Amino acid sequence: MEPSDRQSRPVPEQPGAAARRYVLAGQSLQAPPLPPALYVVATPIGHLGDITLRALEVLAAAAVIACEDTRVTRRLTDRYGIATRLTPYHDHNAAAARPKLLARLAAGEAVALVSDAGTPLISDPGYRLVQAVRAAGHAVTTIPGASAVLAALAVAGLPTDRFFFAGFLPPKQAARRARVAELAGIPATLVLFETGPRLAAALADLAAGLGERAAAVCRELTKLHEEVLHGDLATLARVYTAQDAARGEIVVVIAPPTADQPEAGELDARLREALGRASVKDAVAEVAEALRLSRRDVYRRALALKDEDEDEADER
């Protein structure tokens, strides 16, 4: 029977076994030994109860846990009585920390990799470690579990047969609008991460670039103040513009384009060409009729393109 299939059960205390134990429902449990490998372990996105039994066994049995922020991961290990050593692995120290983790694997140890929340490698530097471990000939295995992307899709009430995860939008408006234009024609539900201070501006740019698409803003999923707001992008932009900056972890889910929406870049290309020879009003009317889009949506995009051009001119 594989270690992952074994039932966790209380066992007598053994000398030197403290680092291979975890506590569940008041019972101290023995974690089975692990073969040498890098274990990519999903952790809760908020509620600490959303951890799998297999993840607890791996975190308890590993020689070391590589994590983004030891303070964040320590809250999880303390909750479950896990004494495994924590070591930081993040964007700023990855180049120096990676060889040390590879050395542990070469010495026959099991190394666990976690992120601050959810599944590692999603918007974090873990993929470089996985690449290096595989290149060195060591095993990599996944311990699946919570994911903010999938949790948001589950509650958004939007199509889930195809989705595109786009990570964080750029913080500066010109770059953000350009990125939104790239996403416009993707024939799938879009999933984005966003920060509270940038949420209102991001939603406004999404509304300008994508039109009247249905969307959901999923905030603090699985936590005490979980909130999921539904509406079209423009409405959601107004809601969050009228509030103080949203707090917590935020995922934005956006419905896919309808069949009559143009391919990515087509709207921008036609608008730029029309604006080069006609007034904004005439250019909008021409492009809206040609692409069978609402004049309001095309007008918003025309203004956004003019702002982008002005920003680029200022930067030059």
What DSSP string runs through 129-193?
A: HHHHHHHTT--EEEE----HHHHHHHHH-S--SSEEEEEEPPSSHHHHHHHHHHHTT-SSEEEEE
Residue 57 domain-assigned (yes or no): yes
Chain segment 126-135, per-residue pLDDT in tens: 899 999 999 9
Same domain, 89 and 13: yes
pLDDT for residue 312 = 65
Task: Please report, for the domain that includes residue 125, its CATH number.
Answer: 3.40.1010.10
Same domain, 300 and 215: no
State pTM to two decimals.
0.76
Confidence of residue 157 (pLDDT cuts 50, 70, 90): very high
Distance CA 115, CA 57 (A): 17
The residue length of the chain stands at: 316
* Phi and psi angles of residue 211, each rounded to the nearest 5 degrees, phi first: 85, -160
Angle between helices 126-135 and 94-106 (to 10 degrees): 40
Instruction: Give the sign of the dihedral formed by CA 272, CA 277, CA 282, CA 286.
Output: negative
Residue 260 domain-assigned (yes or no): no
Same domain, 242 and 134: no
Residue 137 domain-assigned (yes or no): yes
Same domain, 209 and 233: yes
DSSP letter at 101 equals H
Same domain, 93 and 196: no
Residue 7 domain-assigned (yes or no): yes
Domain finish residue from 91, 113, 146: 146
Residue 15 domain-assigned (yes or no): yes
Residue 166 domain-assigned (yes or no): yes
3-class state of residue 39 by DSSP:
strand
Same domain, 37 and 136: yes
Q: Is 35 exposed, middle or buried (0-12, 13-18, 19+ CB in 10 A)?
A: exposed
Same domain, 155 and 137: no
Same domain, 182 and 274: no
Same domain, 91 and 38: yes
The number of beta carbons lying within 10 Å of the beta carbon of residue 150 is 16
Domain finish residue from 120, 146, 172: 146
Domain finish residue from 146, 176, 200: 146
Same domain, 19 and 80: yes
Among 48, 6, 66, CA closest to 31 = 6
pLDDT for residue 314 = 62
Please determine, for residue 313, whether its predicted confidence score (pLDDT) is greater than 80.
no
Same domain, 7 and 125: yes
Same domain, 133 and 11: yes
User: 164-199: buried (b, 16+ CB within 10 Å) or exposed (e) per residue?
Assistant: ebbeebeeebbebbbbbbebbbbebbbbbbbbbebb
Is 20 within 8 Å of 31 (Cβ atoms)? yes
Q: What element of type H or E holds 315? A: helix 295-315
Could you give the number of structural domains in the chain?
3
Range of the domain at 173: 149-254
pLDDT for residue 4 = 39
pLDDT for residue 124 = 75
Residue 54 domain-assigned (yes or no): yes
